[in-house]
DNA sequence: CATGAATGAGGCTTCATTCAT
DNA sequence: GATGAATGAAGCCTCATTCAT
């Protein structure tokens, strides 16, 4: 019954878009209201304060917006994978591939995650998702024995770093694919069950 | 004949110490001159500008200072290890163990690295170190086939993340040891040579 | 459709006015934002930065504003004069007379010119104007032989000095008129064609 | 009986020299104690405050020092000239020629005069000198009728401007000589007695 | 005497936010 | 509902000067 959709009102969407682009281009630290307003073609920062409760609010909406986009890209690819291992690989590879499609959004999101840090539900959500994925996979016997939390932490951030470097200077699609597979290989191997060395 | 005392003039050291503590406690973004001055018991921020060429200079000195401390702790442990694999493990484990000894320095360094970003020689230096380590290890046949650069990137940042979480709420030494071993295990497994599966 | 009001938004004009008065009263060196803000009745210097891109911008606008005023006074008087010599005289005399009408503006402009120096287009513009005037006058035979550039330089600055002294303690109108004529006489005589020792 | 000569003590002279050079190179506005100290190879500005009562004191000493130098150059040349007119010409021409010998000092002095302004005894002294010279010359009948004060003001500043331009980019000696003669011609002509036009 | 660390004020600029229109 | 001017705090930095050593 609410009139407003998620980002809407035109103005809101416009501001969110500008904020994302500014963060992608100039970095989180430089993403001031005035810079965002200028980028959006607004004459005043008051406009932003009017539409958002504060800077945190705007940034949170940016995160949500970007996640909607990334989710649309990665979600189907992950869902298409069958089994814990394949899904892990799909997550990593599709995340790296995403750079080719939405470099600005990826750059912005990583910067937001780095700076909003542990306050963000979505950041912790992703770690928790990995952790849970590892845990259930271990229960199913498709992952080896390791601390799911430590692995989740190390792998999500490692993934972000690789993606950030790629996003900074987007390489050829083929190279992106290679990098994604390389990283997925590493993670898959790290989490593989112990080979008990059984013969044929 | 005196060029400059050890960490220089007492005041300099005091300011560097204060800066490190402020960054550790309040984060990079909040580490303003006035906050650092207050923490150091100085009457004005002018004092900091008097001793350092600028904010970048102060932060660079902080990084150097912290690396001296971490190097003194990790260096011997890494050097004591024999072989590429053992050294990789020693690096990871001693880095996590370091949290128990110098939590503030670790917290500060990670925040500095995150924000100084790719401008810092020391950051890129560490990645390059890992990369080279992987490359020579592969040549020696003790590491498997994988892209050394991708692994270096993912592992150093993953390590930082694990360390950062540990540093945020320092756990028992035993728990630290466990986390370190867990992470080392993951990395060692990820980089292990392919088992050609030959039977007994 | 509105682009910008006349001297812009009232506040802008108010700030420019305050800046001119501060420069006139306290001198260029003392014309800090905080002094100007205080003079303008503003609560903070931020307001000035809000309306102007920086100090240089504000000062440039001041120069433009003052030149508009002085141009309105001197322009018609110069245009009314016929011939190069009469125009030179009209320039000098009207410039000195201007002190009686707008002493603050004159004081401020001279101080601005002295300190903004050779960066300003308007300063060099005036010298170039004199130089060109001398050159065409020489071609027409109404001026003698002399280096137009040196004369332009010496005469504009000499004029400024005389005007500055007058502006510092504005004398009676009659005295102003006398000073103007005196200076014009000097310049006219200095630039007169050589008397060719007329025949009987 | 005093132990100290004018500028002496080595340190004092060193500082004065550095100050003059800084003013010549960077301008009056940039001539801060720290910049001067750096230029002089001093480690602290305290040194300057120790040797001079304050900034004004240092600058006054600079002016005195420069005038000693310029006086040594111009003095003999002026004294060698016979008659009011020739002396006026000698003053102007030797002042311009001075640029070829001591460009830094000339640059510095002009900047000091411009900014110290009417507070300086020496500035007003020079104007007074010109004024008196004109007055006695008029009494002797070698100058025409004009206001000595106005002429003194306009000519000294005009001379300064010409000299400043020359000092900014020192031209060939021959060009300097030409400029000096040009300016002297202008001033001589401007102050010449009225030719009553009587025939032979 | 000489030093250089310390001071405290003031410089310009940018920020997120508020509020009258 | 939307605007943009206004705010006031905080940012880093430079200054001339002082004072204990």
- The separation, in Å, between residue B96 CA and nucleotide E14 C1' comes to 39
Q: Is residue A116 assigned to a domain?
A: yes
The pLDDT value given to residue B10: 79
Beta strands (DSSP E) in B41-171 are none
- The separation, in Å, between residue A15 CA and nucleotide F12 C1' comes to 30
State in Å, rounded, how far the first CA of chain A is from the last one: 64
Shortest distance between the Cα of A197 and any Cα of chain B, in A, equals 7
Whether residue B4 has pLDDT greater than 80 = no
By C-alpha distance, the chain C residue nearest D30 is: C29
Whether residue D6 has pLDDT greater than 80 = no
* Residue of A89, A127, A190 to mutate, testing the B interface (most B Cβ within 10 Å of its Cβ): A190
**pLDDT (average), residues C135-152:** 97
Q: Could you give the angle at the alpha carbon of A55 between the alpha carbons of A49 and A60, nearest 5°? A: 115
Closest residue, by C-alpha, to the C1' of F15: D32
- Residues A78-108 as b/e (b if ≥16 CB within 10 A, e otherwise) read beebeebbebbbbbbbbbbbbbbbbbbbbbb
| DSSP 8-state assignment for residue D30 | G
Element (H, E) at B138: helix B121-139
Alpha helices in D3-45 (DSSP H): 11-26, 33-40
Q: Name every chain B residue with its beta carbon within 8 A of the beta carbon of A200.
A: 199
Q: Which domain holds residue D77?
A: 11-191
**Lowest-confidence region among A23-32, B73-82, C150-159:** A23-32
A–B CB contacts, 8 A cutoff, strictly below: 90
Shortest distance between the Cα of A2 and any Cα of chain B, in A, equals 38
Shortest distance between the Cα of D115 and any Cα of chain C, in A, equals 9
Whether residue A128 has pLDDT greater than 80 = yes
Alpha helices in chain A (DSSP H): 11-26, 33-40, 46-51, 55-80, 84-101, 103-116, 121-140, 148-168, 173-191
Nucleotide at minimal C1' distance from the D44 CA: E4
Q: Name every chain D residue with its beta carbon within 8 A of the beta carbon of C200.
A: 199
| DSSP 8-state assignment for residue D177 | H
Q: Name every chain A residue with its beta carbon within 8 A of the beta carbon of B191.
A: 186
Residue pLDDT, tens place only, C159-186: 999 999 999 889 999 999 999 999 999 9
**Lowest-confidence region among C1-15, C94-108, D174-188:** C1-15
Distance from C-alpha of C179 to C-alpha of B189, rounded to nearest angstrom: 95
Distance from C-alpha of A6 to C-alpha of A1, rounded to nearest angstrom: 13
Nearest in space to C200 (alpha carbons), one of B178, A34, D198: D198
On whether the CB atoms of residues D142 and D193 are closer than 8 A, the answer is yes
Instruction: Check CB contact under 8 Å for C146 and D186.
Output: yes
By C-alpha distance, the chain A residue nearest B113 is: A114
Number of independent structural domains in chain A: 1
Distance from C-alpha of B143 to C-alpha of B136, rounded to nearest angstrom: 9
Nearest in space to A42 (alpha carbons), one of A28, A58, A65: A58
Instruction: Check CB contact under 8 Å for C179 and D150.
Output: yes
Nearest in space to D46 (alpha carbons), one of D15, D10, D7: D15
Assign B175 a pLDDT band (cuts: 50, 70, 90).
very high
Instruction: Check CB contact under 8 Å for D192 and C187.
Output: no
Kindly give, in sequence order, each residue whose CB lies less than 8 Å from that of residue D122, ignoring residues fewer than 6 positions away: D63, D64, D67, D113
B-contacting chains (≥3 CB pairs under 8 Å): A
A-contacting chains (≥3 CB pairs under 8 Å): B
Distance from C-alpha of B24 to C-alpha of B18, rounded to nearest angstrom: 10
Distance from C-alpha of B162 to C-alpha of A2, rounded to nearest angstrom: 43
Chain length of chain B: 200
Q: Is residue D127 assigned to a domain?
A: yes
Instruction: Check CB contact under 8 Å for C186 and D114.
Output: no
* Residue B50 Cβ under 7 A from any strand E atom: yes
Residues 44-103 on chain D lying near strand F, CB distance under 7 A: 44-46, 48-50, 54-56
* Residue B34 Cβ under 7 A from any strand F atom: yes
Distance from C-alpha of D69 to C-alpha of D63, rounded to nearest angstrom: 10
**Burial class for A194, CB neighbours closer than 10 Å (0-12, 13-18, 19+):** exposed
Whether residue B108 has pLDDT greater than 50 = yes
Distance from C-alpha of D155 to C-alpha of D128, rounded to nearest angstrom: 12
Mean pLDDT score across all residues of chain D: 89
Residue pLDDT, tens place only, D50-81: 999 999 999 999 999 999 999 999 999 999 99
Q: Is residue B165 assigned to a domain?
A: yes
**pLDDT (average), residues C152-159:** 96
Whether residue B6 has pLDDT greater than 60 = no
Assign A190 a pLDDT band (cuts: 50, 70, 90).
very high
Nearest in space to A182 (alpha carbons), one of A164, A200, A158: A158
Instruction: Check CB contact under 8 Å for A157 and B161.
Output: yes
- The separation, in Å, between residue A7 CA and nucleotide F4 C1' comes to 24
Q: Could you give the angle at the alpha carbon of B97 between the alpha carbons of B93 and B98, nearest 5°? A: 115
Residues 48-77 on chain A lying near strand F, CB distance under 7 A: 49-50
* Residue D154 Cβ under 7 A from any strand E atom: no
* B59-63 CB contacts, 8 Å cutoff, 24+ apart: B59/B19, B59/B112, B59/B116, B60/B120, B61/B12, B61/B16, B62/B16, B62/B19, B62/B20, B62/B23, B62/B108, B62/B112, B63/B109, B63/B112, B63/B113, B63/B116, B63/B120, B63/B122
Q: Is residue C35 assigned to a domain?
A: no
Q: Is residue C186 assigned to a domain?
A: yes
**Burial class for C76, CB neighbours closer than 10 Å (0-12, 13-18, 19+):** exposed
The pLDDT value given to residue B9: 65
Q: Is residue D200 assigned to a domain?
A: no
Kindly give, in sequence order, each residue whose CB lies less than 8 Å from that of residue B77, ignoring residues fewer than 6 positions away: B90, B93, B94, B97
Instruction: Check CB contact under 8 Å for D157 and C157.
Output: yes
Q: Is residue A113 assigned to a domain?
A: yes
Assign A125 a pLDDT band (cuts: 50, 70, 90).
confident
* Residue A75 Cβ under 7 A from any strand E atom: no
Residues 2-61 on chain C lying near strand E, CB distance under 7 A: 32-35, 44-46, 48-50, 54-56
Helix A148-168 to helix A84-101 angle, to the nearest 10 degrees?
Answer: 20
DSSP string, C2-69: ----SSSTTHHHHHHHHHHHHHHHH-GGG--HHHHHHHHT-S-THHHHHHSSSHHHHHHHHHHHHHHH
The pLDDT value given to residue B115: 82
Kindly give, in sequence order, each residue whose CB lies less than 8 Å from that of residue C5, ignoring residues fewer than 6 positions away: none
In CATH, what number is assigned to the domain containing residue A150? Answer: 1.10.357.10
Assign A10 a pLDDT band (cuts: 50, 70, 90).
confident
Distance from C-alpha of D61 to C-alpha of D6, rounded to nearest angstrom: 9
Distance from C-alpha of A37 to C-alpha of A18, rounded to nearest angstrom: 8
Distance from C-alpha of B152 to C-alpha of B132, rounded to nearest angstrom: 9
Residue pLDDT, tens place only, C31-55: 999 999 999 988 889 999 999 999 9
By C-alpha distance, the chain B residue nearest A190 is: B190
Distance from C-alpha of C129 to C-alpha of C112, rounded to nearest angstrom: 19
| DSSP 8-state assignment for residue B10 | T
Residues 11-50 on chain D lying near strand F, CB distance under 7 A: 30-35, 44-46, 48-50
By C-alpha distance, the chain D residue nearest C194 is: D189
- Count of beta carbons in the 10 Å neighbourhood of residue D56: 11
Whether residue A172 has pLDDT greater than 50 = yes
Out of A29, A153, A158, the one facing B155 most closely (by C-beta) is A158
Nearest in space to D156 (alpha carbons), one of D110, D121, D120, D193: D110
By C-alpha distance, the chain D residue nearest C178 is: D147
- The separation, in Å, between residue D38 CA and nucleotide E4 C1' comes to 14
Q: Is residue D196 assigned to a domain?
A: no
* Residue A14 Cβ under 7 A from any strand E atom: no
Interface residues of chain C, partner chain D, Cβ below 8 Å = 29, 114-115, 144, 146-147, 150-151, 153-162, 165, 168, 178-179, 182-183, 185-187, 189-192, 195, 198, 200
The pLDDT value given to residue B122: 75
Count Cα neighbours of D130 within 13 Å in the Cβ-side half-sphere.
26
* Residue of A30, A130, A160, A161 to mutate, testing the B interface (most B Cβ within 10 Å of its Cβ): A161
């Amino acid at each position: 019954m609410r009139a407003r959709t998620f980002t809407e009102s035109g103005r809101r969407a416009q501001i969110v878009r500008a904020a994302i682009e500014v963060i992608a281009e100039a970095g989180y630290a430089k993403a001031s209201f005035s810079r965002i307003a200028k980028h959006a073609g607004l004459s005043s920062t008051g406009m932003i304060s009017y539409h958002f409760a504060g800077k945190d609010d705007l940034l949170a909406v940016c995160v949500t917006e970007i996640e909607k986009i990334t989710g649309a890209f990665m979600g189907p690819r992950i869902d298409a994978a069958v089994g814990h291992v394949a899904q892990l690989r799909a997550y990593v590879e599709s995340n790296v591939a995403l750079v080719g499609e939405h470099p600005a959004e990826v750059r912005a999101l990583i910067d937001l995650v780095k700076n909003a840090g542990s306050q963000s539900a979505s950041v912790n959500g992703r770690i928790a998702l990995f952790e849970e994925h590892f845990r259930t996979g271990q229960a199913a016997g498709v992952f080896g024995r390791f601390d799911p939390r430590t692995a989740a932490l190390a792998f999500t951030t490692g993934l972000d770093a690789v993606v950030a470097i790629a996003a900074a200077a987007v390489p050829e699609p083929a190279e992106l694919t290679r990098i994604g597979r390389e990283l997925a290989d590493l993670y898959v191997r790290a989490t593989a069950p112990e080979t008990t060395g059984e013969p044929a």
